[in-house]
Amino acid sequence: MEQPLTKHIVPGKSLSLKEYEQTGGYAAVRKAVKNASPQDVQQIVKDSGLKGRGGAGFSTGMKWSFVPMDDSARHPKYLICNADEMEPGTFKDRLLLEGNPHQLIEGMILAAYAIKADISYVFLRWAYRKAATLMQKSIEEAYAAGYLGKNILGTGWNLEMHLHTGVGRYICGEETALLNALEGKRATPRSKPPFPQVSGLYGKPTIVNNVETLCCLPHIINNGAVWFKGLSVSEDSGTKLYGVSGKVKRPGVWELPLGTTMREIIEDHAGGMVDGYKLKGVLPGGASTDFLTEEHLDIKMDYISVAAAGSRLGTGTMIVMDDATCPVGFVHNLQHFFAQESCGWCTPCREGLPWVERILLGLEKGSGSNEDIDLLLMHTQYLGPGNTYCALAPGAMEPLQSALKYFKEDFIKHIEKHECPYTG
């Protein structure tokens, strides 16, 4: 089983420029900038079937194709790495940032070349301080080696790269809010259109890609689109970093073929449930995805299969809820996070999420009523897709709506017993 993204990552160690080059590092950059056009690189990535690994799962090559490429295109163009990994339960990008930062830098150079970008940024989560130190050192090494800066590898192409550490707002993970934050503005999402590919950072053409997405690029350029497709065991292409947290024996993150079943990931790689606990539910792709249950364990963890089961692959980082954990308290904790992290720009999100949080807290404290379930169901509709300015509130509703679907009896027990049955 090939693991191109993590093959050379050793726990507790970060590859230097020399060590990365010894593994074949930056060969893809030399191959691309010297022997291929930007359009050639775009086509290879499009043919590979690479989908964005940040959660949306949109075709990476297709996303790039929306950037104006003719001589009239406005410059500077920008390439941004979204490393603002703040979704609860999501921790996959940290492994790549700390273990092999030059792999990310090479991927960013390739993406920047593909869209003829002039300036690139790594937008990094504030709490990833070790990653910040390693990324800054690696960027400096890449400049010194001629992979960044003026006249890269003698081709006449110039690319700047900067590290920007965010101030700790979850909404900055939304690409247009990220752009506003980079510009020094309030981190609120922008209306679309215009889309960032045409009018992004400072009104110029901009592409925002996730860490894991960008780390796939050197391997695609080196080995080809057909090779990348062959890594998966599903209709989707490549490998995927899957993570598991919760009461499992070996919580962690693993690079596996895209389409590996949930059962294999949880039982084989994460070691199964801790003795004395049973699986009750799983958020398959981070905190903003719908619950799946034990009946779904044999689905393939790919974009198509998870969607068919009623959830989203998201980031591929599973949060496992055990049978001793209260679903109402579990969801309340998530809603507290989302309510706290709302940018407050639109009324449904600003007012609705705190309302949902208060209802769930009342249920947990034993003061809930039957009307509360109807109110929660109402919120899942009014805060759903198409009713808010961005996807934060609709994402927050996914664990709630699915908890009401699969664990409704637990909500009713809170009302009937006037206390949390898991702690009472």
- Render pLDDT for 299-326 as a digit per residue (tens, 0 to 9): 999 999 999 999 999 999 999 999 999 9
Q: Are residues 71 and 119 in the same domain?
A: yes
C-alpha–C-alpha distance, residues 43 and 37, integer Å: 10
Work out the angle between the directed axes of helices 101-115 and 27-35 (0-180°, nearest 10). Answer: 10
CB atoms within 10 A of CB 13: 12
Based on the fold, state whether residues 80 and 224 are members of the same structural domain: yes
Per-residue model confidence (pLDDT) at position 424: 56
- Rg of the chain, C-alpha, whole Å: 22
32: domain CATH number is 3.40.50.11540
Q: In the listed set 273, 295, 322, which residue is the last one of a domain according to the structure?
A: 322
Q: Which residues contact 355 (CB under 8 A, 6 or more apart)?
A: 375, 379
155 pLDDT above the threshold of 60? yes
Q: Residue 312: give its domain's CATH number.
A: 3.10.20.600
Say what angle helices 347-365 and 327-341 make with each other, to 10 degrees: 150
One domain for residues 158 and 210: yes
Element (H or E) spanning 283, and its range?
Answer: strand 279-283
Mean pLDDT of 15-30: 97
pLDDT of 62 > 80? The answer is yes
Q: Is 19 or 168 the better-scoring residue by pLDDT?
A: 19
Question: Do the domain assignments include residue 9?
Answer: no
- Residue 377 belongs to a domain: yes
In terms of domains, do 107 and 182 share one? Answer: yes
On whether both 252 and 307 belong to a single domain, the answer is: yes
pLDDT at position 423: 85
Q: Is residue 269 part of a domain?
A: yes
Q: Are residues 220 and 246 in the same domain?
A: no
CB-side exposure of 298: number of CA atoms within 13 Å? 1
Report the CATH number at residue 333.
1.20.1440.230
Q: Are residues 66 and 168 in the same domain?
A: yes
Residue 175 and residue 124 share a domain: yes
In the sheet with 279-283, reading across from the earlier edge strand, the strands are 252-257, 239-246, 317-322, 279-283
pLDDT at 103 over 60: yes
Contacts of residue 313, Cβ cutoff 8 Å, sequence gap at least 6: 57, 284, 285, 289, 301, 302, 303, 306, 307
Query: What pLDDT score was predicted for residue 338?
Result: 97
Smallest CA-to-CA distance from 82 within 123, 119, 50, 131 is with: 123
φ/ψ of 216, rounded to 5, equals -75, -25
Tell whether 219 and 258 lie within a shared domain.
Answer: no
- Written as six digits, the tokens of 407 are 């664990």
Q: In the prediction, which pLDDT does 167 show? A: 86
Residue 334 lies in a domain: yes
Asked if 400 and 359 count as a contact pair (C-beta separation under 8 A), the reply is: no
Q: Is residue 12 part of a domain?
A: no
Number of domains the chain is built from: 3
Q: Single out the residue in 165, 199, 229 at which a domain terminates.
A: 229
Total length of the chain: 424
In this structure, what token pair is assigned to residue 285? Answer: 């792709």
| Single residue among 322, 354, 385 that ends a domain in this structure | 322
SS3 72: coil
- One domain, residues 313 and 337: no
Q: Is the pLDDT of residue 112 over 70?
A: yes
The closest alpha carbon to 353, from 366, 341, 369, belongs to 341
Q: Classify residue 390: in a domain, yes or no.
A: yes
Q: Is 422 contained in some domain?
A: no
- Residue (of 350, 315, 306) closest to 171 by Cα position: 350
| pLDDT given for residue 55 in this prediction | 83
Q: Where does 59-166 show beta strands of DSSP type E?
A: 78-83, 119-124, 160-165
Q: Tell me: do 186 and 332 sit in the same domain.
A: no
Range 356-372 average pLDDT: 96
Q: What is the number of other CB atoms lying within 10 angstroms of the CB of residue 276?
A: 9
Tell me the β-bridge partners of 239.
257
Q: Which residues pair with 165 in a beta bridge?
A: 124
Residue type, 43: Q
pLDDT at 1: 82
* Domain membership of residue 175 as a residue range: 17-229
CA distances 243 to 14, 127, 131, 289, 411, Å, are: 20, 19, 19, 14, 29
* pTM as predicted: 0.96
- Does 223 map to a domain? yes
Token pair 């017993």 is found at: 417
β-partners of residue 59 are 51
243-300: pLDDT as tens digits:
999 999 999 999 999 999 999 999 999 999 999 999 999 999 999 999 999 999 999 9
Instruction: Give me the pLDDT at residue 56, please.
Output: 82
299 and 400 assigned to the same domain: no
Calculate the alpha carbon distances from 423 to 324, 359, 381, 420 in Å.
10, 18, 30, 6
